Every structure is written in C-alpha cells, then in structure tokens.
Structure 1
Amino acid sequence: MQNLLLLLFYITSFYAFIPSLISRLFGFRVFRKGKNVKDYALTFDDGPDPYYTPLLLDLLKKYDAKATFFVVGEHAERNPDLLKRMHNEGHLIGIHNYKHYTNWLMSPKLVRQQIERTDTIVFQITGSHTEYYRPPWGITNLFDFSKKHHHRIILWSGMFGDWKERIGVDRLTERMKKRLRGGEVMVLHDCGTTPGADKHAPKIMLLALENVLEMAKQEGLKSIRIDEMIELHNASKHANSVRKLQYRKEGLAAVRTGIKKVVVKLWLGWEKVFHLVTHLKTITPENPFLHYRIRPYQGKRVAMTDGKFLEKGDSIVELHFDNKKLYQLGTTSRTSVHLAIRMIRAMEKQLPDLAHLIAKDPDAAEVKALYGVTMINRGPEQFGFLVKDLPKGWFAASSAVYLRILMSVIHPQGQKRLKEGSQQMIPKMIIMPMDVLYERFGSIHKPERTAPREVTEERYEEEESGILAGNSDLSRTPPVA
C-alpha cells in the first residue's frame, strides 16, 4: 500500500500538479500577459453557444473590439455558422479541447486527439488552422509542454468568476474594470453549459462587458486578438533588449539565484518528507552522505554475476544520496571532475560502513543486492557495481526528468553541463550482489587506512589531468541517486 501511494504521488506530481504550478507561477511555455502593450485582450472560453455567442459578436462589433475564442470542438461542430461569423468578422479562433475535459484525467495521446479533432473541424468550417490552445480550466500536464505540441498555450492574467449568475452585473463590472489596462488577458465565458457553470451566466457577463467596453473606449483602450498581443509583446521586448541588456542580465541572475534557492528549499523539504515516509536509515548520521532502506525489488528480472538473477520480490538494499550533502559538494566544487573526485572519495568511506551495518542487521539476512538509480557512465563500476539500462517506461522517463533537474541544481556548471553532456546524462540501474559487497568492503575490522590526501592545487590539477586523459575509470558525470 505504501508503494502504491508513493507511485500515485509521483504520477500526480510529475504529470499534473507540478506542470500546472510551474505554468501558473512562472509562465513556463505559456503566454498569459503582454508586457509594454497599450491594449488588452478579451478571450472567451467554452462556446460557441447558439443564443449567447451571437449577442456577444454583436456587442464586439458595436465597439469595434476583436477577441479570441477558445472553442469546444463539439460546440463548434454543432454551430458552424457561428464559427464562420467569428472568422469573417476578424476574431481569432483557438482550441479548448473537443470536449471540456481536464488534461489531468487524459493521456497525452487523448489530449492530442482532442486538439487535432477540433483543429480539423475549425479548418473545415473556416479554411484556417488554429495555432493557439487553452486547456480547460487552464490545467496543464507534463506533455503539454512538449516541443511536439504545435499549438501555443494561452492562459490569462484576469479571471472574474463570470460563470456564476450570483456574481451580479455590478460586482463583475468592478472586477473587470480593476484589470482594464494594457497587456491584460481577460478570460470570460460565452457558454454556460460547462459542468459547474450556470446556464444563463453569460447574460450577466454581456451586461458587464458592455460597461467595460464603454469605459475602455473613453480611456482609449482597445481589445485586440491574442496573436496581435503576442506580436506587440515580442516587438516591445526586441526594441528594449539593447537598452536593458545589462540590467536584464543582472536581474536574470538574481531571479535565477532566487528560484534556485526556492527549488533547493523545496527539494530539501521533500527529502525530509520522503525520509519519514520511507523510513530511510543513514549510514553515518554525524556526516550524512548515503541513506538506505531494505525493501522488495519491484522491477524486471536482471542478470547479475555467476549466472545469478535479481528477481521481482527479492530483498534489496535501496541506496539514496543525501540531497543536502550533494548540494554542498556541488556548490563548493570547481568543476565536474572536482565534484566526481570528492564523491568517489565519499563512496570509498561509506561502502565499508554500509557493509558493516548490513552484516549486523537481522532484517538484511535475505538481502540479495544493493540497488540504486544513477546518472553515470562508468563511475560505480570501480566499486563492483553492475550498471544496467532502466527498462523503458514511465519510471525511466520520470527518473530522467528528476535527475536532470537535480544535476542542474547541484552541478558546478549547471545547465551548461546538461547541454554539453546530454548523451551521457541517462539514468541507469546500479546493482551490487551482496557477496561482492562483503568481499570488497565487508571486513568488520577494517585495515588501517591512510587519511585522504588534501586536494591541493597541484594534486587537483594532477587528478583532473589524469581523468581527462582517460587514465581513470571516473565518469565525467558523478553518481547521482
């Protein structure tokens, strides 16, 4: 049950909650507001509606306002004349799925089918394909951000609760007037048949909208289409780029530093929760580096050594690096090689201690192997680990995303390292049979070892040169679990 709950938590977080949070807070791969734009944008969801949409089009025509309609495919299919009128009167048509379903409850394939089906309907009626997409309720999933997604995702900067009649004309008018300024993307609804909406709420919306359009006319503001706003937005950014280049660099660095601090805090907080839930044990509590837990193996059959196999259900020791320690090592290392050296030395100290603990642990009597997931090429092999490809699937994909984020945070070269070494940044399984662990590291009375050599400038350069020349088995990508 614990594993099932963890799996559901992972799926929900990676597939749905985190992408929506990132798009809302940081605007990642979505457009939600124009900067340095004089005019605003009216957008309408859920239509077309055979009764209210014609009234809305009449009102927009009266004030010479252009809007963007994110249509529901099945509604468009039933009202082709309204779609033609939108197109002929100069409004922009976008997609709001074929049915008003949330993307959290649909697979990537089903979302794509909803978009493609609606685009086909729009093209057959208007002769033009769509380029813009608004997911229902603005809820995105992980695959909505894929580069294969050919539609630009549009969210909003102002939402007013116009889908409920009880809001009333006066209150809705006041809410909209407060956001009436250049660059705002307002979302309203010209259809009340969506679950949770009131059927005749668009009547209230139309009355409030006329008040706002009148006020906008007096203030010299005009509603424009989303594609026009994006064009003006991009032109403004380009015009100011030279003048503000240095300022933007400094500001961006500060933002990145702030975001990184937030990410690190959330990341370390998540580790504490994960430790509590999974009851991880620490090898050396006074100087944490490796944590572990004993659990049944849940993956596919894996060949080890001497004709032995790791089977589903076999007892394993699952390894986890200490995130705080990784971050400290990463932020104080000068290069990736320096980081690798320090991690290798830490592993050399930890494995004998781990062998000692497991040998005395009665719960570990049936343990068959050490197990972990890592982004490396050769590093763990020198300790006796077998390096195996992860079976293709959700776990491998989510592990790759998580570990790439991890490396961008802890690695001395951050995103630059990810771009340069993308072919090597592949998550793999590392497995060490227990007999190998005890043979290499299992002496209870360890022989006296010399203290690790201090990494002086001369010694550091010597080790770095040796590694880069291929005289060591250290991977250019350090082990990360």
Structure 2
Amino acid sequence: MYLIKTPWLLKKLYPQLIWNMNRERRVIYLTFDDGPIPVVTPFVLETLKKYNAKATFFCIGDNISKHPDIYQQLIADGHAIGNHTYNHLKGWETDDNTYVQNFQKASDLMLTSLFRPPYGRIKRSQIRQLKALQPDLRIIMWDVLSGDFDTTLKPANCLKGVLKYTSNGAIVVFHDSLKAFERLEYVLPRALEEWAKAGFEFAIL
C-alpha cells in the first residue's frame, strides 16, 4: 500500500524533512532512487538529455562500488547526487548504530549533503544522529511517488498518476532499477514531454 501524493499531515509530522520545494516556481525536481546500474541508469541519462533536464540521483553505495563508470557519468552530465545508504537499509527495522554506519560507508563514496532514507522509513533518533554527524545534511522525501516499482501497475496508469499529481515545486520519485524499468521506460519520456509542453523546468535539489 502506498500513496502517490504525500498527505499534508505526514509533512506536518516530519517538518524537519524536505517534502517539496517552492510552490511559486514552475519547476519540477526529478529524483531517481536505487542506482546506478547498467541499462536502466544509462536509459534515464539519455532520456533526460533529450529534454535538457537535470535530476537528483539517490545512489546506493554498493551500486556505486560495482558500477563506478556509470556513477561518474551521472556527475559528468551535471546531475546531483544523494546518499541512499550503502545497502538500502530500512530504518524502522535497523538499529541506529548499524544505520548510521551504513550511511557513513556510502558517504565515503560521494560528496553530498543530500540523503533519502530507503522506503522513506527512518526513525526520529536516526534523523538526529545523522544530522549530528553531518550538520548540513538535507533529508529529502517526496511530494509525488510514481509507483514505478509496483509490478502490478500498468505503465499507462503509472503515467496517469504522475501527471495528475505533479505541480509546481514537486519532488517526484522514480527508480532506476530493474524492477521499475518496464514502467519507467514508458512513463519517463512521456511525462517529460508533457511537462515540457506545460512550461516546466527541471532542476536539481
């Protein structure tokens, strides 16, 4: 069970996390979780390039270690990088010490002040410890969850939901993962086309 549009109450309960950006600007903040990996991440890079779009990639440290060439391409293309832990840990099911160490292991591979907790699951105690470790850390959540990871979701319905709920200042989550690729491959170019026609710009966080 997941919600495409993040409810206002959740944003209010966790005001120390970043859910969306300036609503007065006609800008969309595209984000991609779980890469970098072969095939899928290069597809995303090529598609973004066609629309002169920049995005923020929340990378798993283990994937950076396995695919350093793709990671370097992200940087070369001018995209922003965020930490997504080294092993995609779910904060609610992980003790704080292990979680912070896994964050730090990933942090050693990338220079970034951005972090997104895998699954969007993080304890308040983990938030405090991460910010104590890195005071400039910005913990990025999302305004719109594409649902591209949902293997039961038809690509056309995935696109419909993304277009319906994305508005000024939205932080939108996609996944450069094999699990999401069938929907991502369909949705990303079509969404970019529609947003570009509507006059949106695409910026990094």
1:214 to 171, 193, 204: 193
Q: CA deviation at 1:101?
A: 1.6
Structure 2 SS opposite 1:68: strand
Q: CA deviation at 1:34?
A: 1.3
- Is 1:203 the counterpart of 2:190 in the alignment? no
- Is 1:148 the counterpart of 2:132 in the alignment? yes
For each residue in 1:22-70, what CA deviation from the matched residue of structure 2 results, as whole angstroms up to 9, or x when unmatched?
A: 8644332110111323201111111112111101100001111110111
Tell me if structure 1 keeps the 8 A contact 2:146–2:162.
yes
Q: Which residue of 1 is the match for residue 5 of structure 2?
A: none
Structure 1 SS opposite 2:72: helix
Q: Which residue of 2 is the match for residue 73 of structure 1?
A: 61
Structure 1 residue identity aligned to 2:132? K
Structure 1 SS opposite 2:161: helix
- Quote the Cα distance in structure 2 between the aligned partners of 1:111 and 1:165: 28
- Quote the Cα distance in structure 1 between the aligned partners of 2:97 and 2:13: 26
Structure 1 SS opposite 2:108: helix
Q: Which residue of 1 is the match for residue 17 of structure 2?
A: 30
Which structure is richer in relative contact order (CA contacts within 8 A, separation 6 or more)? Answer: 2
Distance 1:161 1:138, change over 3 A: same
- Quote the Cα distance in structure 2 between the aligned partners of 1:23 and 1:175: 20
Q: Which residue of 1 is the match for residue 70 of structure 2?
A: 82
Q: Which residue of 2 is the match for residue 396 of structure 1?
A: none
Structure 2 SS opposite 1:186: strand
TM-score (norm 1): 0.39
- Quote the Cα distance in structure 2 between the aligned partners of 1:222 and 1:166: 31
Tell me if structure 1 keeps the 8 A contact 2:60–2:87.
yes
Structure 1 residue identity aligned to 2:177? C
Structure 2 residue identity aligned to 1:135? P
- Is 1:134 the counterpart of 2:121 in the alignment? no
- Quote the Cα distance in structure 1 between the aligned partners of 2:57 and 2:87: 15
For each residue in 1:176-230, what CA deviation from the matched residue of structure 2 results, as whole angstroms up to 9, or x when unmatched?
A: 11123210010111113xxxxxx3x31321221111100111111021111xxxx
For each residue in 1:355-404, what CA deviation from the matched residue of structure 2 results, as whole angstroms up to 9, or x when unmatched?
A: xxxxxxxxxxxxxxxxxxxxxxxxxxxxxxxxxxxxxxxxxxxxxxxxxx
Q: Unaligned regions of 5+ residues in structure 1, if any?
A: 1-21, 123-128, 193-198, 227-481
Q: Which residue of 1 is the match for residue 79 of structure 2?
A: 91
| Residue pairs, 1:327-346, within 5 angstroms | none
Q: Which residue of 1 is the match for residue 108 of structure 2?
A: 120
- Quote the Cα distance in structure 2 between the aligned partners of 1:28 and 1:219: 30
- Quote the Cα distance in structure 2 between the aligned partners of 1:40 and 1:183: 5
Structure 2 residue identity aligned to 1:222? E
Q: Which residue of 2 is the match for residue 57 of structure 1?
A: 45
Structure 2 residue identity aligned to 1:63? Y
Which of 1 and 2 has greater Rg? 1
- Quote the Cα distance in structure 2 between the aligned partners of 1:220 and 1:160: 20
2:149 to 155, 159, 163: 163
| Residue pairs, 1:272-421, within 5 angstroms | none
Tell me if structure 1 keeps the 8 A contact 2:90–2:119.
yes
Distance 1:158 1:23, change over 3 A: same
Tell me if structure 1 keeps the 8 A contact 2:32–2:55.
yes
Tell me if structure 1 keeps the 8 A contact 2:33–2:58.
yes
Structure 1 SS opposite 2:27: coil
| Residue pairs, 1:440-459, within 5 angstroms | none
- Quote the Cα distance in structure 2 between the aligned partners of 1:91 and 1:225: 7
Q: CA deviation at 1:173?
A: 1.1
Distance 1:38 1:26, change over 3 A: farther
Q: Unaligned regions of 5+ residues in structure 2, if any?
A: 1-8
- Quote the Cα distance in structure 2 between the aligned partners of 1:111 and 1:24: 23
- Is 1:178 the counterpart of 2:160 in the alignment? no
Q: CA deviation at 1:112?
A: 1.5
Structure 1 residue identity aligned to 2:159? T
TM-score (norm 2): 0.88
- Quote the Cα distance in structure 2 between the aligned partners of 1:23 and 1:169: 27
Q: Which residue of 1 is the match for residue 94 of structure 2?
A: 106
- Quote the Cα distance in structure 2 between the aligned partners of 1:149 and 1:28: 19
Q: CA deviation at 1:108?
A: 2.0
- Quote the Cα distance in structure 2 between the aligned partners of 1:178 and 1:23: 20
Tell me if structure 1 keeps the 8 A contact 2:100–2:126.
no
